[in-house]
């Protein structure tokens, strides 16, 4: 097995083609997340809140002038329409969730298609399709919310193939002692996408019809990325046009590229070990960790602006800025944990399995403590809330930089794309369920209601940490190892 070879680097990662691949995928992941959350940003200004309140005979929330909040909400008598669409809260919820219904649909097919046709074409088409439908959001909205929902659903369908394809691609490109850095860096594009989209989207949406500009900008950027991706990458080192012979030999000798791609494609038709995957304790540990991780990830991604507005009382401009800080922290944690993880693997101080357990444990326990403390924060000390959010969201980056997300490639071999697709299918359920549950638990957006949400989240984090630490492993499963008769 190549994993047993001496893991001492013989070809620098910096300025290498494999790092170029990680950089290109980093920007692709960033754009995917920008296209994922753009609707949540824009819907605030797309909807005519004044007309909606008139239709529902709603009342503005009562503002207590004697409260101790650092930031006081401002009274306003403005009747300016914020948008041209009169969509109820339930319709808005359907529009936002339609993405995840499409996203969950193509996780496993994305992994299978990557095995059969190669990860490059599937990854490229995933971004191209999502970008085209993002551009079509503007005319779709004019045609009605049903057409808009269909468009968002198709963006989710396209994006759903992306992560399984990324996982399958890195099997051919990431040596075991560089796996954390390469995969961690590429995956951290998700955090940077949030960091860019939240303030930029907020700025654009503050302009006249700026929400339309945002969809066009994010969509056409994805098309440009697709062209660069096709020109700069390849499925395997053997197929890359300008990789050096030294790096090609280095990557091939240190990856699980034993199995010919032609045989892999042929085998994908009939021999995926479904039963072995679903009965593997190591796989189940990853599935549970991924699900628990995404609960917090999607909860904060969809509800963080509401929490900052309702509880911390930040104004709209400060909201966008401070909402991005936790994702900067998450990116930093992913980068630092991936670097430390690879250094520990090279030094052989502790086992690879222990490294994954430690970082995934940190990635759950620190956020668990942070959200418990966050439940007691009020608008009297909003900056403490931002600090705790930086820890609560930030340390989740350890899971993606050196935890379960890297572990998928270690145990799944050439089935890593399929394995990631299955795992992300379960994990995406959090994207569908958590916004709904949080909405049910916080009908008035009070401190007590949010406290219950954070207690629930802390319990989910603890469960994920326990299951992963107890059952995970870092060696390839028997069914994932290609047996060469020679």
pLDDT, one tens digit per residue, over 6-50 is: 445 566 788 899 999 999 999 999 999 999 999 988 887 888 766
The answer to whether the Cα torsion of 145, 159, 468, 388 is positive or negative is negative
- Which neighbouring-strand residues pair with 85? 47
Of 95-99, 117-121, 199-203, 306-310, which range is least confident?
306-310
Question: Distance between CA 161 and CA 261 in Å, rounded?
Answer: 19
Q: What is the pLDDT of residue 71?
A: 61
pLDDT, tens digit (0-9, with 9 covering 90-100), for 428-442: 998 888 877 887 888
Fold of 11-58+87-480: Growth Hormone; Chain: A; (1.20.1250)
The answer to whether the Cα torsion of 162, 7, 287, 294 is positive or negative is negative
Maximum distance among all alpha carbons in the chain? Answer: 80
Contacts of 172 (CB under 8 A, 6+ apart): 119, 235, 236, 237, 251, 255, 257
Question: Nearest-CA neighbor of 418 among 431, 409, 407, 406?
Answer: 409
Q: How confident is the model at residue 70 (pLDDT cuts 50, 70, 90)?
A: low
Question: Distance between CA 331 and CA 336 in Å, rounded?
Answer: 9
Rg (CA), the chain: 23
The 3 state secondary structure assigned to the chain is: CHHHCCCCCCCCCCCCHHHHHHHHHHHHHHHHHHHHHHHHHHHHHHECHHHHHHHHCCCCCCCCCCCCCCCCCCCCCCCCCCCCECCCHHHHHHHHHHHHHHHHHHHHHHHHHHHHHCHHHHHHHHHHHHHHHHHCHHHHHHHCHHHHHHHHHHHHHHHCCHHHHHHHHHHCCCCCCCHHHHHHHHHCHHHHHHHHHHHHHHHHHCCCCHHHHHHHHHHHHHHHHHHHHHHHCCCCHHHCCCCCHHHHHHHHHCCCCCCCHHHHHHHCCCCCCHHHHHHCHHHHHHHHHHHHHHHHHHHHHHHHHHHHHHCCCCCHHHHHHHHHHHHHHHHHHHHHHHHHHHHHHHHCCCCHHHHHHHHHHHHHHHHHHHHHHHCCCCCCCHHHHHHHHHHHHHCCHHHHHHCHHHHHHHHHHHHHHHHHHHHHHHHHHHHHHHHHHHHHHCCCCCHHHHHHHHHHHHHHHHHHHHHHHHHCCCCCCHHHCCCCCC
Q: What is the mean pLDDT of residues 232-243?
A: 93
Answer whether residue 313 shows pLDDT above 90. no
Give me the phi and psi of 47, to 5 degrees please: -85, 135
pLDDT, tens digit (0-9, with 9 covering 90-100), for 133-145: 999 999 999 999 9
Answer whether residue 56 shows pLDDT above 70. no
335 touches 188 (CB < 8 A): yes
Percentage of the chain exceeding pLDDT 70: 85
Residue 435 CA: distances (Å) to CA of 94, 306, 439: 11, 11, 6
Answer whether residue 329 shows pLDDT above 80. yes
Question: Distance between CA 389 and CA 395 in Å, rounded?
Answer: 10
């Amino acid at each position: 097995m190549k994993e047993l070879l001496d893991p001492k680097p013989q070809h620098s990662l910096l300025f290498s083609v494999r790092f170029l691949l990680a950089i290109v995928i980093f920007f692709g992941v960033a754009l995917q997340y920008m296209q994922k959350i753009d609707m949540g940003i824009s819907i605030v200004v797309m909807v005519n809140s004044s007309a909606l309140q008139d239709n529902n005979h709603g009342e503005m929330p009562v503002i207590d002038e004697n409260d101790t909040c650092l930031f006081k909400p401002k009274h306003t008598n403005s009747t300016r329409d914020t948008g041209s669409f009169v969509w109820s809260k339930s319709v808005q919820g359907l529009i936002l969730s339609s993405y995840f219904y499409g996203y969950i649909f193509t996780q496993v097919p994305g992994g299978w298609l990557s095995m059969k046709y190669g990860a490059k074409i599937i990854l490229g088409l995933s971004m191209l399709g999502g970008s085209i439908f993002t551009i079509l959001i503007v005319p779709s909205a004019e045609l009605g919310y049903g057409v808009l929902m269909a468009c968002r659903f198709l963006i989710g369908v396209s994006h759903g193939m992306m992560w399984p394809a990324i996982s399958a691609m890195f099997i051919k490109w990431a040596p075991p002692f560089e796996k954390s850095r390469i995969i961690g860096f590429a995956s951290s594009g998700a955090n940077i996408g949030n960091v860019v989209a939240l303030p930029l989207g907020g700025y654009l949406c503050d302009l006249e019809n700026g929400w339309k500009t945002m969809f066009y900008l994010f969509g056409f950027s994805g098309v440009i990325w697709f062209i660069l991706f096709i020109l700069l990458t390849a499925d395997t080192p053997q197929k890359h046009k300008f990789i050096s012979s030294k790096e090609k030999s280095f990557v091939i000798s240190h990856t699980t590229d034993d199995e010919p791609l032609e045989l892999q494609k042929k085998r994908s038709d009939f021999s995926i070990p479904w039963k072995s995957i679903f009965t593997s304790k190591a796989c189940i540990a990853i599935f549970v960790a991924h699900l628990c991780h995404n609960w917090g990830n999607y909860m904060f991604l969809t509800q963080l602006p509401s929490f900052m507005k309702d509880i911390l009382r930040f104004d709209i401009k400060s909201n966008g800025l401070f909402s991005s800080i936790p994702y900067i922290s998450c990116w930093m944690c992913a980068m630092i944990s991936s670097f430390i993880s690879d250094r520990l693997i090279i030094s052989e101080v502790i086992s690879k399995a222990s490294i994954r357990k430690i970082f995934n444990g940190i990635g759950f326990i620190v956020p668990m403590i942070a959200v418990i403390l966050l439940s007691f924060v009020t608008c009297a000390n909003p900056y403490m809330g931002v600090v705790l959010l930086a820890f609560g969201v930030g340390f989740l980056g350890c899971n993606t930089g050196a935890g379960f997300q890297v572990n998928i490639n270690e145990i799944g071999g050439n089935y890593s794309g399929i394995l990631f697709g299955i795992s992300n299918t379960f994990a995406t359920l959090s994207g569908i369920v958590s916004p709904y549950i949080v909405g049910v638990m916080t009908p008035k957006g009070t401190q007590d209601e949010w406290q219950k949400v954070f207690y629930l989240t802390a319990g989910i984090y603890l469960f994920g940490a326990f299951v992963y630490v107890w059952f995970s492993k870092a060696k390839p499963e028997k069914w994932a190892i290609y047996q060469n008769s020679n």
